[in-house]
Amino acid sequence: MSADSPARRPYPPVNNCLPRRRGFDITDPSMVGKVVIGALVCSLVAIGTGSAQQVEIAREKPVAVAIVHQPKPIVQPQVELHPKVQTVSYTTPATAAPSTTLSVEQMRKAGALAAQRVREEMHDIEEDEPPPKPAPAKKPTVAANAVRVVEKPARESDTFPAPPINFSGQTAFVRLADGFDMPVGKPDAHGYYRARGFRSHGHLGEDWDGVGGGDTDLGDPVYVVADGVVVFARDCHQGWGNVIIVRHAYRDGLGTRYVDSLYGHLDRILVKRGQGVRRGQQIAAIGNAHGLYDAHLHLEIRKNLEIGMSRDKFAQDSSNYYDPSQFITAHRHLQSSGASCRVAMNTFTYDSRIPWDRLKNYSHAHTGGGTSESAYALKKALASQSSRRD
């Protein structure tokens, strides 16, 4: 400022925010302090309010996190929820512009909506998984040496039960018998008569004579009563002479059964041991036990296959023997398809102890005639034949 310029008067302090000349000048130092204190209080209130609202928002977060991390027994793609954090600013209404901040209720609804979407996505993932395939049925394991059962019709040629005896050594196949016939005058003993019958604990067989009497039937054919196999054929000397035993197998309603037929006092033997024979085949000739008796055939049918020529070792009754005529009559016709089964050959328990070659014949004791029983039977047979002629 130059010296020539008039001295200017300094302007008094002016408060442009207040109307002039109203006395609102803050000149009192205490008033200034109050204003400062009020501003600080307002600032603290605003800060406290913002902090309280932020803490309330934080309480909503565990709800969403708890829904997302649900335990699953099967490992599935995990969907992580990252909520978008929005900064909420609080200003005084005078300076607040149009804001995009969310209220607490809107945040709660948004969280519930997000949780719902997460559940739907997890449900879709579970539905997209293919259903587990059923475990394939375990095939039964069959051992290498196992026997495979094959369903097939039963046939008579199948395996049959073995004879109910203990044996060792040789066996043979025998054709199942289709029936039994008389051993002389086949098949019905025509021209012969039963001179002596079966008696338990006595005469264990039957004696067959020709109707001519005496030795008129000496050398006549002897026929096997049924299919079978020869298990014994030799000269037994003493009171037996030549003897043949044939083993038979047959089937009835109770299964497969076995019997032995014995032919004694023979003049000649036409078969050998182990030979198979057929029903009605000639196996010998009627004899007289080397001259001991009048010519006739002694026939036995045995249940027990162990007797052989040792009759004194076994009970001499119907537990071991059949009445020959009754048995043959009851088994004249049997069902058979020509099948065969295995039978034992060495079943005569005590015969191995007999010294056959040292035994003697009883030919010197020839009686020259039969018993009174046979004589009566002969007269009866002759009377029956004469009545038939008439």
* 287: CATH: 2.70.70.10
Query: In the numeric block, which tokens belong to residue 66?
Result: 């708890």
User: Bridge partners of 260?
Assistant: 247, 302
Reported as half-sphere exposure (CB side, CA atoms, 13 A), residue 66 has a value of: 7
Please name which of 163, 174, 173, 205 lies closest in space to residue 347, comparing C-alpha atoms. 163
Q: Is 329 within the bounds of a domain?
A: yes
Q: In whole angstroms, give the CA distance from residue 193 to residue 378.
A: 7
Please name which of 346, 304, 306, 342 lies closest in space to residue 175, comparing C-alpha atoms. 342
Domain that holds residue 116: 30-88+104-126
Same domain, 201 and 118: no
pTM of the predicted model as reported, rounded to 2 decimal places: 0.55
Q: Is 98 within the bounds of a domain?
A: no
Same domain, 204 and 332: yes
Q: How many other C-beta atoms are found inside a 10 Å radius of the C-beta of residue 74?
A: 6
Same domain, 252 and 374: yes
Per-residue model confidence (pLDDT) at position 28: 64
Q: How many structural domains are present in the chain?
A: 2
Tens-binned pLDDT, residue by residue, of the chain (390 aa)? 444 555 555 555 555 554 555 554 556 666 777 777 888 877 777 776 665 545 444 444 444 444 444 555 555 555 454 545 444 444 444 444 445 566 777 777 878 887 777 676 665 544 444 555 555 555 545 444 443 433 433 333 333 343 444 444 589 989 999 999 999 999 999 999 999 999 999 999 999 999 998 899 999 999 999 999 999 999 999 899 999 999 999 998 888 999 999 999 999 999 999 999 999 999 999 999 999 999 999 999 999 999 999 999 999 999 999 999 999 999 999 987 788 999 999 999 899 999 988 888 876 545 555 555 555 555 565 556 555 555
Same domain, 206 and 290: yes
Please name which of 233, 76, 258 lies closest in space to residue 167, comparing C-alpha atoms. 258
Q: Is 3 within the bounds of a domain?
A: no
3-state secondary structure the chain: CCCCCCCCCCCCCCCCCCCCCCCCCCCCHHHHHHHHHHHHHHHHHHHHHHHHHHHHHHCCHHHHHHHHCCCCCCCCCCCCCCCCCCCCCCCCCCCCCCCCCCCHHHHHHHHHHHHHHHHHHHHHHHHHCCCCCCCCCCCCCCCCCCCCCCCCCCCCCCCCCCCCCCCCCCEEEEECCCCCCCCCHHHHHCCEEEEECCCCCCCCCEEEEECCCCCCCCCCEEECCCCEEEEEEEECCECCCEEEEEEEEEEECCEEEEEEEEEEEEEEECCCCCCEECCCCEEEEEECCCCCCCCEEEEEEECCCCCCCCHHHCCCCCCCEECHHHHHHHCCCCCCCCCEEEEECCCCCCHHHCCHHHCCECHHHCCCCCCHHHHHHHHHHHHHHHHHHC
Q: In whole angstroms, give the CA distance from residue 285 to residue 111.
A: 121
Same domain, 115 and 176: no
- Give Cβ neighbours of residue 27 (< 8 Å, ≥ 6 apart): none
Same domain, 248 and 351: yes
Q: Is 96 within the bounds of a domain?
A: no
- Give Cβ neighbours of residue 300 (< 8 Å, ≥ 6 apart): 204, 205, 206, 260, 261, 262, 264, 321, 324
Preceding omega of 355 cis (within 30 degrees of 0): no
Query: In the numeric block, which tokens belong to residue 153?
Result: 């019709």
Same domain, 122 and 176: no
Same domain, 119 and 228: no
Q: Is 217 within the bounds of a domain?
A: yes
Q: Is 48 within the bounds of a domain?
A: yes
Is residue 63 within 8 A of residue 111, CB to CB? The reply is yes
Same domain, 180 and 307: yes
Same domain, 209 and 121: no
Same domain, 236 and 310: yes
Q: Is 276 within the bounds of a domain?
A: yes
Per-residue model confidence (pLDDT) at position 149: 38
How far is the CA of 168 from the CAs of 69, 165, 305, 344, 355, in angstroms? 83, 10, 14, 8, 21
Phi/psi zone of residue 49: left (φ > 0), alpha (ψ -120 to 50 degrees), beta?
Answer: alpha
Q: Is 311 within the bounds of a domain?
A: yes
Contacts made by residues 44-47, CB under 8 angstroms, sequence distance 24+:
46/90, 46/92
Same domain, 177 and 295: yes
- Give Cβ neighbours of residue 209 (< 8 Å, ≥ 6 apart): 192, 193, 195, 217, 294, 295, 296, 370, 374, 377, 378
- Give Cβ neighbours of residue 200 (< 8 Å, ≥ 6 apart): 316, 317, 318, 321
